[in-house]
Amino acid sequence: MLPVLVLVAGVAGASPGASDDVCSAARAGQWQLAALRLPEAWRESRGAGVVVAVLDTGVNGRHPDLRGAVTEGPDLTGASPRLSGRHGTAMAGLIAGRGHGERHAEGVMGVAPAARVLSIRVTLENADPLRAERRSVRRDALAAGIRYAADHGADVISMSLGGGSGSWEGSAAEERAVRYAIGRGAVLVASAGNDGDTANRKNFPAAYPGVIAVGAVDRRLRVAPFSNRQDYLSVVAPGTDVVTADGGDAYAVGDGTSSAAALVAGVAALVRSAHPGLSPYHVRLAIERGARKRPARGHSPAYGHGVADALLALWEAGRLAHGTVPPHARPGPFAGSPGPAAGRGPAVPPPASRTPIVAGMLVLAAAMSVRVVSTRRRRGRDSA
């Protein structure tokens, strides 16, 4: 779900060098890198050797930040999409974006920049005219996509979508596919949903047993109002003001549990890369045990087990796999975490200010007369 989408710059078709201001602003605006403690986690793992299946609207593997990272899988919608995979490209960038330019210092850096993406189209963009014609989309596309991913080497399956097979009750075919994929060793991650401030409906595939359901928090690590509150929630992760790759060569800023789920799928890829022998259950356990800002009772419908933390997830995975923790990954004092998580890790730098990205947008607007376009979109079936 990406209910708010702001085009940072319409640079589609331009070379990366023609949009240096935007690319630098995009990297500066990635506050989730510090919030997830990725610079520290990358000393242990960058996701090498891991395949993350992105079940979404398709991925533009030609985006500057995703070149060489994407394998294009099948289109299981049964339709002929008229729009490119903007949502899928955004999610893939958050998972495995590797930036571009000198030392990859520009553009979007994903959580697991050394991982590979397997793109499987299972739904259409919100704005695609075909979405209004439900019969034009294969109803078992998600179930088929999960099985395809499991059969083609996916270590992690990321599903930033929701609504089941056109309903809010899920489907037997999808639940069987989830069990099949877990049995094949895949870790499944899905967005919790974006109607937490209204209907707060049970969201599928997040609600299927065994799936890591992810909610969204803001820069202060407070649960976003739109993030669904449910007993099956696993963890929360950054989901507001998140900079993503866009369908062309552009970048976007958005809100939604889609982004949060993609980030946690990236964390699962880091864990899988560092500890390939861990079962899907133990990968999930490492992510949940490694969460910080944990609720007083260990779990709540709003926070799940707490805020995802890549460094602590790797630490917990090491304990589960070997009973040891690499010295550089040993948590020190953690400032500002109440409850059971207090004292579990090094202090986290404050989230990056939004000033750099705003400044970048203004500079580009002055230089290129690019308009900043803002649209509000509430995702329905198959987008979260």
Residues assigned a catalytic role: 56, 87, 258
Question: Are 312 and 345 in contact, with CB atoms under 8 Å apart?
Answer: yes
Q: Is the preceding peptide bond at 295 cis, omega within 30 degrees of 0? A: no
First-to-last C-alpha distance (Å) of the chain: 2
**What are 214's strand-pairing partners?**
191, 235
Question: Are 266 and 291 in contact, with CB atoms under 8 Å apart?
Answer: no
Among the listed residues 226, 213, 218, the one whose alpha carbon sits nearest the alpha carbon of residue 305: 213
Read off the DSSP letter of residue 103.
Answer: G
For the chain, strand residue ranges (E) read: 4-9, 51-56, 70-75, 98-100, 106-109, 116-121, 156-159, 187-191, 212-217, 233-238, 242-245, 251-255, 373-376
**373: number of Cβ within 10 Å:** 12
Reported for 163-168, long-range contacts at CB under 8 A and 24+ positions apart, including other chains, are 163/203, 163/204, 163/380, 163/381, 163/382, 164/204, 164/205, 165/139, 165/140, 166/134, 166/139, 166/381, 168/201, 168/202, 168/203, 168/204
Question: Are 261 and 236 in contact, with CB atoms under 8 Å apart?
Answer: no
> What three-state secondary structure class fits 326?
coil
Residue partners of 67: CB distance under 8 A and separation at least 6: 61, 100
Give the CA count within 13 Å in the CB-facing half-sphere of 322.
9
Residue partners of 200: CB distance under 8 A and separation at least 6: 193, 228, 229, 230
Among the listed residues 73, 314, 51, the one whose alpha carbon sits nearest the alpha carbon of residue 184: 51
Rounded Cα–Cα distance for residues 328 and 349 (Å): 17
